[in-house]
Copies of this chain bind each other. A is one copy, B any other.
Amino acid sequence: MAGPDDVVRLDDVAREAGVSASTVSRALSRPDMVAPATLAKVRGAAESLGFRANPAARALITGRTGFFALLVPDLDNPFYAATATAAQDLAAEGGRRVIIAVTGGDAAREAAALAELEGQVDGFAVLSPMSPAAALKEVHRRKPVVAINRRVAGLTSFTVDTPGGLGRIYDRLVELGHRDVAYLAGPPGSWMDRRRRDELVEHAARSGLRVRVHGPVRPAFAEGAAAARAIAASGCTAVLVYNSLLLLGMMFEFGRMGVRVPEDVSVAAADDIALADLPGPPITAVLAPAGELGRCAVAALAEMVQGGGDRRAPGRRLPTGVRITDSLAPPRPGV
């Protein structure tokens, strides 16, 4: 490794093509500014020598690195993983890369990542940001920042209407005759969970009922399994769950306990990930477009960088689908 001798530079290409360095530069980055014949020569030379522009030199002068940073709380959550993967894919189409920084859902680490990466990237997408709005806006004065999964005043934000979807599922439960519903809450301190929970509780109150909240717990499979026993014992006839990973864990344990779905208990979750491909009867879920969030964020950043100015891309609340299936059934008699 380490062969600083055989690296091909712009001059090498220029010499090979019999033109000047600036012509090579133009040919490669603004092909319409050179004569077709020259273009061909330069491309041929670059190709044959295996030239790849030094990104640092380019970044130094243009001020663009070709990187976007995506800050995510963790990678264990398949929702985040899906968002990150989609973001990378779309960025790649524009010749850009997405740097993923794991923050652990910790405001301090998030702030550190923001500060450290500021010089390395052209913009930030922050997934479920923990930082105060002011801190995010401060960064935004220098580099475009887009928020995902949380509305931040003054920033382009992309959210999904998961609370609304949960509400519709709740309505269906009431319609089926359920009166005792449990909600297994997600990550402590999570903005998303807060919204889902509050909406659900208020929504239930409007029906004259109430929802019993369990948790909050980390959105991990094992945590869902761990919560199953208490939920089953609580006497509820239906459970809504913060996300699909928790639901899988819960159902896993239900299976071992002999609790049947939906005969003994109806179940549904937000964030349909890995639920759709399950064998057997499908499970009721709010269909959140995890990948779409990542793509929207990248597209917005790209637009802001292109625009150069302070043009703020419009944010959106993405619609969610709701898949209502036989995992919802009337409450078992005698309850």
Confirm or deny: A332 has a beta carbon within 8 angstroms of a beta carbon on chain B.
no
- Of A30-38, A125-133, A277-285, which binds chain B? A277-285
Q: Is the CB of B85 within 8 A of A1?
A: no
Partner of A1, one of B56, B75, B142, B277: B142
| Bound: A82/B99 CA distance, A | 17
Among residues of B, the one whose C-beta sits closest to the C-beta of A85 is B102
Confirm or deny: A78 has a beta carbon within 8 angstroms of a beta carbon on chain B.
yes
Number of this chain's copies in the assembly equals 2
Q: Which of A36-57 contact B (CB under 8 A)?
A: 52-57
Q: Is the CB of B85 within 8 A of A141?
A: no
Q: Is the CB of A253 within 8 A of B277?
A: no
| Bound: A185/B206 CA distance, A | 51
Please name all residues of chain B whose beta carbon is closer than 8 Å to the beta carbon of A65 when the two chains form the complex. Answer: 56
Confirm or deny: A225 has a beta carbon within 8 angstroms of a beta carbon on chain B.
yes
Please name all residues of chain B whose beta carbon is closer than 8 Å to the beta carbon of A120 when the two chains form the complex. Answer: 55, 97
Q: Is the CB of A97 within 8 A of B81?
A: no
Q: Is the CB of A116 within 8 A of B97?
A: yes
Chain A window 199-229, contacts with chain B (Cβ cutoff 8 Å), 1 for yes, 0 for no: 0000000000000000000001111011011
- Of A17-25, A159-167, A168-176, A302-310, which binds chain B? A302-310
Confirm or deny: A324 has a beta carbon within 8 angstroms of a beta carbon on chain B.
no
A90 to chain B minimum Cβ distance, whole angstroms, is 12
Confirm or deny: A76 has a beta carbon within 8 angstroms of a beta carbon on chain B.
yes
Please name all residues of chain B whose beta carbon is closer than 8 Å to the beta carbon of A255 when the two chains form the complex. Answer: 251-252, 254-256
**How big is chain A's contact interface, by range?**
35 or more
A-B residue pairs in contact (CB < 8 Å), sample of 25 = A1-B143, A1-B144, A2-B142, A2-B309, A3-B141, A52-B118, A56-B60, A56-B119, A59-B59, A75-B85, A88-B102, A97-B101, A97-B116, A97-B117, A220-B277, A221-B248, A221-B274, A221-B278, A222-B274, A222-B277, A225-B279, A226-B277, A248-B248, A251-B256, A255-B255
Known: A2-B308, A75-B81. 13 other contacts (CB 8 A): A1-B142, A4-B63, A52-B118, A75-B75, A76-B81, A76-B82, A97-B117, A220-B274, A221-B278, A225-B279, A251-B255, A252-B255, A253-B279
A interface list, Cβ under 8 A from B = 1-4, 7, 52-57, 59-60, 63, 65, 74-76, 78, 81-82, 84-85, 88, 97, 99-102, 115-120, 140-145, 220-223, 225-226, 228-229, 248, 251-256, 261, 274, 276-280, 304, 308-310
Please give me the 6 A-B residue pairs with the lowest Cβ-Cβ distance, nearest first.
A255-B255, A222-B277, A56-B59, A75-B81, A56-B60, A100-B100
